[in-house]
Amino acid sequence: MTNQDLLAVAKEFGSPVYVYDAEKIAFQYNRLKNAFSEVKDLRIHYAVKALSNISILKFLNSMGCGLDTVSVQEVMLGLKAGVDPKDIIYTPNGVSLEEIEEVVELGAQINIDNLSILEQFGAKHPEVPVCIRINPHILAGGNAKISVGHVDSKFGISIHQMPLLLRIVENTGMNINGIHMHTGSDILDIEVFLRASEILFDSAKNFKNLEFLDFGSGFKVPYTEGDIETDIEELGEKLTHRFHDFCKDYGRELTLVFEPGKFLVSEAGKFLAKVNVIKQTTSTVFAGVDTGFNHLIRPMFYGSHHDIHNISNPEGKQRFYSVVGYICETDTFANNRRIAEITEGDILAFSNAGAYSFSMASNFNSRFRPAEVLWYKDKAHLIRERETFEDLLRHQVIIDLGPPASE
Ligand SMILES: *Cc1c(COP(=O)(O)O)cnc(C)c1O
């Protein structure tokens, strides 16, 4: 997508607007597949929560990609997209037994991450195969907000509780068909990931009927030029080797599963916003845009970096701006960032806006959530309309209590 393409999208669909490059998504999918091409049975399950638009799910599924879901609603979105329930893994945490049972009815593979529900489920449905999420107690990335595998994490069953886990499995007679881990986002060090994998292999040895090993995700993508990223190719080489060894010892070829979200869609997304106002104070030049953390919360929520380009004036002289939103809260997208000279009305493009961007948008300040556009073969396809006032009113029940009675 060139700047001209993006400007044309902003012109046609208005701002703010999310734009996703389908070819970039396909590129990332194939890159991961190629990195593990030596694995006989590799399954990639896209983590729906990163970007849950049905057209994106359909596009990924058309390439053979399955889905990883964390709620019954995401499972339903996947089914709506035409995905075979057998290609959907359900990896919730802290949900009710009833929700898990609903998902079983829908036909997806379930994954259980705590002993209490495992025991209740196994007692009631010993015939339903279950995958187990373990917590390997390994911290993948440096950012505690997005790491989910360390000791105090609420995710997964602690490997130290393996004896208890095995007793539950034996007592209920349930069938464990997969072992899963997801150590969280931003794997910077492949050795750390491999160490966690060893723990997964170790845990897997306890179960005789496994069909797959699910290594989760957390691949780091670059956020700016020259930024570090997970070396997928190196990981592919090393993990494939270990996986083959494990399967030989185990006595059977297993399926290797990944469930990337960010890796597949982060870089494919651009978020376009218009500059409403340039506000010069004594110390700072603010560029106020027609959006805020209601539409893109990652910078404020995770402290994440999004490159920002002025696509209306890309060759302009570089100046320093603080890019801020229009929400009645401090919502700073970037502090004193070098950006090509901005004039009111210019369109700014935020990079890495594919993952956890639209999917975390809200109606705070009663703003409409933006439109989404899928860019494919040099054409813009609208895949979500901008909301309207009707959407804000939907489900509101307007009652009239009259004024409170006076004493
Ligand atoms: C969120 C999530 C993922 C995807 O993580 P990314 O960092 O976006 O790749 C994968 N698996 C599970 C269980 C998740 O909760």
Rg over alpha carbons for the chain, rounded to the nearest Å, is 23
User: In whole angstroms, what is the distance from residue 337 CA to residue 344 CA?
Assistant: 17
* pTM > 0.85: yes or no: yes
pLDDT of 128 > 60? The answer is: yes
Distance 165 CA to ligand 1 centre (A): 24
Ligand 1 contact via 141 beta carbon (within 6 Å): no
pLDDT of 180 > 90? The answer is: yes
The β-bridge partners of 319 are 339
pLDDT of 139 > 80? The answer is: no
pLDDT of 168 > 90? The answer is: yes
Ligand 1 contact via 184 beta carbon (within 6 Å): no
What domains are there in the chain, each with its CATH number?
A: 22-262 (3.20.20.10), 269-386 (2.40.37.10)
User: In whole angstroms, what is the distance from residue 314 CA to residue 318 CA?
Assistant: 9
pLDDT range class, residue 406, cuts 50, 70, 90: confident
> Tokens at residue 283, please?
């110390």
pLDDT tens digits, one per residue of 239-264: 999 999 999 999 999 999 999 999 99
pLDDT range class, residue 146, cuts 50, 70, 90: low
Find the mean pLDDT for residues 354-359.
98
Catalytic positions:
328
pLDDT of 142 > 80? The answer is: no
User: In whole angstroms, what is the distance from residue 142 CA to residue 235 CA?
Assistant: 19
Distance 93 CA to ligand 1 centre (A): 12
pLDDT of residue 218: 84
Distance 14 CA to ligand 1 centre (A): 31
pLDDT tens digits, one per residue of 181-198: 998 757 778 888 899 999
pLDDT tens digits, one per residue of 46-91: 999 999 999 999 999 999 999 999 999 999 999 999 999 999 999 9
Output DSSP code: residue 136. Answer: -
Pocket of ligand 1, candidates 181, 215, 259, 263: which has the most ligand atoms within 8 Å of its Cβ, to mutate? Answer: 259
Q: HSE (CB half, 13 Å, CA atoms) of 320? A: 5
Ligand 1 contact via 351 beta carbon (within 6 Å): no
Q: Are 134 and 156 in contact (CB under 8 A)?
A: yes
